[in-house]
């Protein structure tokens, strides 16, 4: 073992172990606890975990928080585990804002609202809200995402829509402070008529679906946040989404941004399109799309169950599609999905603290 060296032990051997096993190894000695907590080791471990086909699905139920095993996009039967949130609050008062590198960003919606970093694997958490969050955090009015900047500093983007004004702020884990960002000028995206989706991270950008289903109906926008320049822009919609009414749902597959487009044009149609080389490319159409009015207790959204896929929107609609062989094989490689009541995540040792 002396010939192997510490670098080989920690970076090539222990970094391949599951997160919960790594946490147990921290109790071996003070040196091991230190080595297994360095930013370098945490980064290497998270990168190896990110290439795994094994993921977790966290679902917020009315009275419980459930975690399921997901392997190659499929729900593994009899793996459901109930986990405890670190604060004494009913799950119905929680809303998921984002999932990134094993961390879940949630809002506690009470008389005063709080924003929480939470690693469900290590059970570590951190409250990051300030006095600004004393305003009401609405399901359709606030959103955000997480990312690492070029200095490996974990940051949180928070977007608030209040009185027709969009306020964008970013939190630095290293500095433990918030600062305000410039948002797009000349837009009406802060109006109560618009609904913002949770942000999804792909290729150093965070994407948001911003839709207006009221006055005038059908206006849709994709707002893009560049994590390097920390600036916003608008991305054009796929041509498939010109039909009204129409909804779009973000996910990443093989680390590329995809949108499931659900259209109501005489019949219910669901297509999968991906964004690549600055173009929207249609991948395939789903079979036999239908509205689901009641979900069974064991059913989960945005994963594969019995060769079917349940899609949810920010308005609460649920659409079921049947997967053929091609769509089944393709969609097994889903990396990320965020919704107000559910999110995929990886088991990592990434800490909410710097």
At 183-213, the pLDDT tens digits run 998 788 888 888 888 899 999 999 998 887 6
- DSSP count for the chain of H helices, then E strands: 5, 28
89: nearest Cα among 68, 67, 57, 118: 118
pLDDT of residue 214: 59
With a threshold of 0.85, does the pTM exceed it? yes
Report yes or no: 161 and 170 within 8 Å, Cβ to Cβ.
no
pLDDT of residue 152: 86
pLDDT of residue 130: 84
pLDDT of residue 192: 80
The answer on pLDDT for 139 being more than 60 is: no
Instruction: Tell me the three state secondary structure of residue 194.
Output: strand
Higher pLDDT, 33 or 317: 33
The answer on pLDDT for 181 being more than 80 is: yes
- Spell out the SS3 assignment of 82-99: EECCCCCCCHHHEEEEEE
Q: Exposure pattern of 132-161 as b/e (b: 16+ CB <10 Å)?
A: ebeeebbbbbbbbbbbbeeeeebbbbbbbb
Q: Which of 89-93, 209-213, 263-267 has the lowest average pLDDT?
A: 263-267
Which of the 8 DSSP states describes residue 319?
Answer: E
Q: Exposure pattern of 205-231 as b/e (b: 16+ CB <10 Å)?
A: bbbbbbbbbeeeeebbbbbbbebeebe
Distance (Å, whole) CA 58 – CA 72: 16
**Beta bridge partners of residue 200, listed in sequence order:** 207
Q: Is the backbone of residue 186 left (phi > 0), alpha (psi -120 to 50) or beta?
A: left
Token digits for 112? 């005063």
The answer on pLDDT for 137 being more than 60 is: no
Average pLDDT, the chain: 86
pLDDT in tens, 41-60: 999 999 998 888 889 999 99
pLDDT of residue 312: 73
pLDDT band (50, 70, 90) for residue 242: low
pLDDT of residue 345: 93
Residues 6+ apart with CB under 8 A from 290: 268, 319, 320
């Amino acid at each position: 073992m002396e010939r192997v060296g510490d670098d080989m032990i920690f970076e090539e051997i222990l970094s391949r172990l599951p997160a919960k096993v790594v946490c147990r190894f921290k109790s071996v000695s003070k040196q091991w606890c230190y080595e297994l907590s360095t930013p370098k080791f945490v980064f290497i471990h998270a990168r190896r975990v990110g290439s795994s086909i094994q993921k977790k699905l966290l679902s917020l139920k009315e009275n419980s928080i459930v975690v399921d095993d997901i392997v190659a996009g499929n729900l593994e039967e009899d793996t459901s585990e109930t986990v405890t949130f670190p604060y004494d609050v009913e799950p119905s008062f929680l809303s998921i804002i984002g999932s990134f590198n094993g961390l879940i960003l949630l809002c506690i919606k009470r008389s005063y609202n709080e924003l929480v970093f939470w690693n469900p694997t290590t059970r570590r958490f951190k409250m990051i809200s300030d006095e600004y969050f004393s305003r009401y955090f609405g399901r359709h009015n606030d959103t955000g995402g997480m990312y690492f900047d070029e200095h490996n500093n974990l940051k949180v983007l928070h977007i608030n829509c209040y009185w027709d004004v969009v306020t964008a702020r970013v939190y630095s884990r290293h500095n433990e402070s918030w600062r305000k960002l410039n948002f797009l000028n000349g837009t009406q995206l802060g109006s109560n008529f618009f609904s913002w989706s949770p942000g999804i991270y792909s290729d150093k950008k965070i994407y948001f679906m911003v839709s207006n289903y009221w006055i005038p109906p059908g206006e849709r926008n994709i707002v893009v946040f560049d994590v390097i320049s920390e600036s916003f822009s608008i991305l054009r919609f796929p041509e498939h989404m010109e039909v009204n009414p129409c909804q779009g749902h973000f996910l990443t597959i093989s680390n590329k941004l995809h949108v499931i487009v659900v259209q109501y044009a005489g019949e219910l149609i669901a297509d999968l399109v991906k964004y690549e080389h600055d173009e929207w490319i249609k991948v395939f159409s789903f079979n036999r799309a239908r509205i689901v009015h009641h979900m069974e207790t064991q059913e989960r959204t945005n994963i594969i169950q019995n060769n079917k896929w349940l899609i949810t929107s920010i308005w609460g609609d649920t659409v079921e599609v049947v997967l053929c062989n091609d769509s089944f094989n393709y969609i097994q490689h889903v990396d990320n999905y965020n919704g107000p009541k559910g999110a995929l995540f990886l088991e990592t040792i990434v800490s909410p603290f710097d």
